[in-house]
Amino acid sequence: MSEHILLPEGSIEKQTTTLNLGPTHPATHGVFQNILELDGERILKSTSTVGYIHRAFEKLAERRPLYQITPLTDRLNYCSSPINNMGWHITCEKLLGIQLPKRVDYLRIIIMELSRISDHLICNSIVGVDSGAFSGFLYLMQFRELIYEIYEEVCGSRLTTNIGRIGGFERNFTETAFAKLDQFLATYPAQLKEFESMFNRNRIFMERTIGCGPISAEKALNYGFTGPNLRAAGVDYDVRVHTPYSSYEDFEFTIPVGSTGDCYDRFFGAPTGNVAEYQYHRTGL
């Protein structure tokens, strides 16, 4: 534990400061402790302690029948719970050898893309809140409410949805669900543009996030990054394109890929790519 930490050249400090960014911190959103060695504002080394919400999903899942595990998967990534549900259902269908009709695949894609959007809405608006820009959060949470209403039409619940069953859905999507989906698609792109105009070229935001925590592509691959973080580091890998599940191969979409992997690139992660797909989904049905 007591390795000697070398201060970088040109530092005016004599020794590093140790700061405990404790388990309960507003920016960690949940609990994640970091003991930081700082040189002024730069973090030289951090020791993390995780496990403060360890809920023993694997052991619980050993004792439950397959359909009772779906509510457990909801709570794995609670910002976008339908994706976890669908992932579990697709796995079970592979095990059981069930073939699905195309309509189920397309409906699943709609729900998954909606939840992907809602997850990125939270992530991006919270980046704003953490750096002090609170209004973006209020604008985008309104759209999360619209997405919640669509979930309620389909499955009855807002956040931890337990959507779908192994082999399909529990009921067909109602006309109101489609009407709400159309209304969402009509109003969301404009609001996203407004949000982007507040953040993307905002000088304060750019100065705070560009160059903050960059990760090179080799390091990201070695550390096992996947998803938007890997794409922000410059690796153009997306599971939906390379190993398409649930009929993703029928649709065309663009994936944003960053270059330096710093916070600014990660912020650009996803909301932009998804909206175009939707229009295709609706016509797909």
Q: Please give the residue ranges that form the binding site for another protein (CB under 8 A).
A: 22-26, 29-31, 50-56, 58-60, 62-63, 71-72, 74-75, 78-79, 94, 122, 137-138, 141-142, 144-145, 148, 158-160, 219, 221-224, 235, 237, 242-243
Whose Cβ is closer to another protein: residue 10's or residue 97's? Answer: 97
What minimum distance in Å lies between the beta carbon of 285 and another protein? 29
Our CA angle for 82, 86, 88, nearest 5°, is: 120
Whose Cβ is closer to another protein: residue 94's or residue 193's? Answer: 94
Whose Cβ is closer to another protein: residue 122's or residue 185's? Answer: 122
Contact between 195 and 272 under an 8 Å Cβ cutoff? The reply is no
Whose Cβ is closer to another protein: residue 22's or residue 40's? Answer: 22
What minimum distance in Å lies between the beta carbon of 206 and another protein? 25
What minimum distance in Å lies between the beta carbon of 17 and another protein? 20
Residue 281: which residues within 8 A CB-CB, separation 6 or more? Answer: 106, 109, 110, 113, 251
Whose Cβ is closer to another protein: residue 6's or residue 60's? Answer: 60
What minimum distance in Å lies between the beta carbon of 279 and another protein? 26
Whose Cβ is closer to another protein: residue 139's or residue 253's? Answer: 139
What minimum distance in Å lies between the beta carbon of 198 and another protein? 16
What minimum distance in Å lies between the beta carbon of 30 and another protein? 5
What minimum distance in Å lies between the beta carbon of 189 and another protein? 20
Contact between 196 and 188 under an 8 Å Cβ cutoff? The reply is no
What minimum distance in Å lies between the beta carbon of 85 and another protein? 14
Whose Cβ is closer to another protein: residue 241's or residue 285's? Answer: 241
Contact between 53 and 68 under an 8 Å Cβ cutoff? The reply is no
The DSSP string of the chain is --PPPPPPTT---SSPEEEEE-SB-GGGSSB-EEEEEEETTEEEEEEEE--TT---HHHHHHTS-HHHHHHHHHTTSGGGHHHHHHHHHHHHHHHHT----HHHHHHHHHHHHHHHHHHHHHHHHHHHHHTT--HHHHHHHHHHHHHHHHHHHHHS-SSS----BTTB-SSPPPHHHHHHHHHHHHHHHHHHHHHHHHHTT-HHHHHHHTTSS---HHHHHHTT--THHHHHTT----HHHHS--TTGGG--------SS-SHHHHHTSSHHHHHHHHHHHHHH-
Whose Cβ is closer to another protein: residue 148's or residue 173's? Answer: 148
